[in-house]
């Protein structure tokens, strides 16, 4: 098994002691063990005993992911899996909070200094209403959620996300946690030949992990990241400064931004939509349509719809809805996203679902072909699996182009 990427250091990250780093590595390994050592046992448990128990009680076999859940929840193996998974999530945040709390003043000073190196704008309005679907719960069990419970919440909450999400993805999203953005950038390079956006907007950017690859790919473009969470936006601005990129960040709601009609040539988001709500998501897509210049592209990288997978896989993925404070995770996968884009104004023949291969997997394959005995085959020797994040090794992208005359 490949020892996945270590996180690339930068000046706005919390500094860990050896003990804290060891605890964080333990959590990362525990998550890996749950994925590779416990999760694969759920299928056999379902097939050999849980479905039979359901059938004996209901008089019919389980029909969909909801029935499968009813069959599995009483099973002790599933209960052990679900509880250790939840514990690993809570331990993960705890392991990062320790290093933030110990060095908070120093961390905040480093965040301020890094922010000063970013020549891009930082906009935090005085009054801002964080939507309830973000403020009402600690999403992913992250203490304080994205936005924090206090308007003056420190940008250290961004540092918590930056380090926490690296541990959550077990290093599979690359040294800069930017695999989503990098994969969509690769997709643009390959599929939208000659497309050279002047202004780019990344909605729901959190700390800008996925935003920065756009500035790297299009260095002359004006790049904006927006998010409803002020601590994340403050940290995003600092992180870009620490990495040496001038990118603009603003606290704004993607349902209704402050930008004028047609301002952007490219509007993207990465795992934003499933964290909104049934009412908000269509509004976000309508806002994308309003913000795009004629001929501009909207690309949302998010969860694959449930109809692309079998009910057991649906059940596994839906565990996030039940045990990781992700209330819209399952419901979003059932929405007809193409119909939503059509309703927002995008021409039907210019909307499609596609797969953007994971940049880290392509990188691993290339590296492997460099030292493979059979380099010509280009087949990765490394065991690099995508885990539950992008089943099949790619991110699902909803791509739509605004008509030239709209
Ligand atoms: C899973 S995170 C996105 C991760 C990020 N795009 C990346 O690729 O690293 C979801 C983010 O969306 C933000 N968000 C949720 N609803 C929003 C909205 N209506 N407008 C802007 N941001 C929103 C949350 O505050 C959170 O930071």
Which domains, from first to last, does the chain contain?
1-356+385-406 (3.40.50.150)
- Ligand 1 pocket residue status of 271, Cβ below 6 Å: yes
Per run of 10 residues, the mean pLDDT along the chain (length 406 residues) is 74 96 95 94 97 98 97 98 97 96 94 98 96 94 92 88 95 92 96 96 98 98 98 98 98 98 98 96 98 98 84 93 90 92 98 92 69 39 41 83 85
Question: Residue 387 has what pLDDT?
Answer: 38
Q: Which atom of ligand 1 is nearest to the CA of 207?
A: 9
Question: Residue 381 has what pLDDT?
Answer: 37
Rounded to whole angstroms, the Cα distance separating 371 from 378 reads 10
Question: Residue 388 has what pLDDT?
Answer: 40
Residue 11 DSSP SS3: coil
On whether the CB atoms of residues 118 and 237 are closer than 8 A, the answer is: yes
Nearest one of 331, 326, 259 to 288, comparing CA atoms: 259
Which DSSP category does 16 fall into?
A: P
Question: Residue 4 has what pLDDT?
Answer: 67
Question: Residue 377 has what pLDDT?
Answer: 37
- Ligand 1 pocket residue status of 7, Cβ below 6 Å: no
Q: Ligand 1 mean position to 350 CA, how many Å?
A: 25
- Ligand 1 pocket residue status of 139, Cβ below 6 Å: no
Q: Ligand 1 mean position to 227 CA, how many Å?
A: 6
- Ligand 1 pocket residue status of 137, Cβ below 6 Å: no
């Amino acid at each position: 098994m490949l020892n996945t990427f270590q996180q690339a250091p930068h000046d706005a990250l919390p500094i860990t002691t050896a003990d804290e780093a060891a605890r964080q590595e333990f959590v990362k390994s525990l998550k890996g063990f749950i994925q590779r050592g416990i999760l694969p046992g759920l299928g056999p448990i379902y097939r050999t005993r849980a479905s039979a128990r359901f059938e004996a009680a209901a008089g019919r076999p389980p029909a969909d992911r909801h029935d499968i859940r009813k069959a599995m929840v009483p099973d002790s193996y599933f209960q052990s899996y679900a509880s250790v998974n939840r514990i690993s999530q809570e331990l993960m945040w705890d392991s990062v909070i320790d290093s933030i709390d110990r060095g908070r003043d120093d961390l905040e000073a480093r965040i301020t200094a890094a922010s000063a190196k970013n020549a891009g704008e930082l906009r935090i309005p005085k009054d801002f209403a964080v939507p309830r679907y973000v403020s009402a719960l600690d999403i992913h069990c992250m203490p304080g959620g994205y936005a924090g419970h206090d308007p003056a919440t420190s940008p250290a909450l961004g540092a918590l996300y930056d380090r926490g999400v690296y541990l959550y993805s077990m290093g599979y999203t690359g040294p800069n946690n930017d695999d989503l953005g990098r994969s969509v950038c690769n997709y643009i390079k390959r599929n939208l030949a000659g497309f050279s956006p002047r202004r780019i907007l990344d909605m729901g950017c959190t700390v800008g992990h996925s935003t920065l690859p756009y500035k790297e790919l299009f260095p002359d473009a004006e790049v904006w990241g927006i998010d409803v969470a002020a601590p994340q936006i403050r940290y995003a601005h600092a992180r870009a400064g620490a990495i040496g990129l001038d990118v603009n960040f603003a606290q704004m709601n993607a349902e209704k931004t402050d930008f004028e009609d047609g301002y952007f040539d490219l509007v993207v988001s990465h795992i934003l939509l499933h964290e909104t709500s049934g009412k908000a998501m269509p509004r976000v897509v309508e806002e994308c349509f309003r913000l795009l210049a004629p001929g501009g592209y909207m690309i949302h990288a998010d969860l694959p719809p449930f109809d692309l997978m079998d009910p057991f896989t649906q059940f596994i993925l839906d565990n996030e809805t039940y045990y990781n404070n992700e209330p819209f995770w399952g419901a979003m996968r059932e929405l007809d996203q193409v119909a939503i884009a059509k309703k927002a104004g995008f021409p039907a023949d210019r909307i499609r679902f596609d797969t953007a291969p994971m940049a880290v997997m392509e990188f691993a394959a290339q590296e492997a072909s460099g030292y493979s005995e059979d380099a010509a085959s280009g087949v990765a020797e490394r065991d690099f699996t995508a885990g539950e994040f992008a089943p099949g090794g790619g991110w699902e992208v909803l791509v739509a182009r605004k008509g030239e005359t709209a």
